[in-house]
Amino acid sequence: MELIRSDGLLNSIVARPRAAIATLPRAWGRLRSVPKVMRLARETQVGMTPHDVVLVRGSMRLLRYRRDTPARHSEPMLFCYALVNRPYILDLQPTKSVVRKYLDEGLDVYMIDWGVPAYAERHLTIEDYVCRFLKEAVDLVLKLSKSDRLHLLGYCMGGTFSALFTALYPERVQTLTLLASPIDFEGKESLLSVWVSHPYFDVDAFIEARGNCPARFLQVCFLFVKPVQNLIEKRLGFFEHMQDETFLINYFAMERWVNDNIPVAGETFRAFVKNLYQRNELVKGELRLGTQIIDLKRIDCPLLLLTAKNDHLVPPRSTEGIVPHVSSRDITKLTIENGHVGLVVSSKAQKTIWPEATQWVAKRSTVVPVRVSATRTLKLRPEALSTE
């Protein structure tokens, strides 16, 4: 018996049941939380800022967010999101909404929702998205806001489109904000860049077989860029926080967006991979949209670059690669220790990056003059002052 104690075996045998018993209250608490977890999974809402649909073109919709007070700045703000996933990541929750940040700063805010392309729309090109849909949205925003210019913010692939648009129509853009947007595709810092590089990925054969790039394919690619974090750590974190209602609401909001994937029009996906990822034509000055060559030197407006140091999809170097190729002299860079999505929805980003980003835009806007209503002066006759 003394020998067993000296080897520590007895202590080990006794400790294991004790450790198991100690975890029972937490396990029972998680079990009791299941009904609440299921309820929150059903009830958690996203994209809650009130808005109106002011334009519909095919699957595309243009949203105008409602304001409780008149805008304090003449130039409106237009968000151009990527063709992948849904744009409500920019308005995920009331406390994690980039849209609300700009509304609170006094701007009239619009957003493009590209929608879900049908198989019949597989022939849509980058030129269609930039020179038709985005241009029509910009023209309507300017008309509704009675302004000659607007602030344009592009996120990820939408930032690439925004840079293309600004190079083509610089007279319409007051400021350009690029949010984790790929511009220079030369580096291989991310697995995504390696996977789609030539000759490993035959995009022509892929699109000929599929028509559009399937949503499921894109989702799997994004998940396996960081498989341990996306497939294991995230679920362990959920299990550990099943009794935390705030955590659960945030978790289900993000899960709804992450799994709300949409396909990308085939010809657009083909060109994005071949002309940008594989050939890097944009910064080389070789990219054509129709008969027009994109010249980034035509971009001369104030430029704000927002990047995340831990971005596994769009490294900061890719976004900041636009700097040597534009004519803009007013260039600001803001970065944060987060990932591609954390740059938008993390509490740290909401408290640090976005107040500064919205103020940057406000300072480069035209302030709407405050209208002072005329006050009528009432002249009373002397007899009107009599108390009799």
Query: Which residues have a catalytic role annotated?
Result: 156, 311, 340
Q: Which of 101, 157, 21, 54 is nearest to 360 (CA)?
A: 101
Collapse the DSSP code of 207 into the 3-class scheme (helix H, G, I; strand E, B; otherwise coil) and give the result: helix
User: Residue 51 is encoded by which pair of tokens?
Assistant: 């808005």
Could you give the dihedral angle defined by the CA atoms of residues 62, 132, 344 and 104, in that order, rounded to the nearest 10 degrees? -50
What does the alpha-carbon distance between residue 301 and residue 172 come to, in Å, rounded to a whole number? 10
- Looking up tokens 């040597």 gives 324
* Peptide bond before residue 199 is cis, with ω within 30 degrees of 0: yes
Q: Which of 340, 341, 342, 323 is nearest to 332 (CA)?
A: 323
- Looking up tokens 């009904």 gives 35
What does the alpha-carbon distance between residue 16 and residue 291 come to, in Å, rounded to a whole number? 73
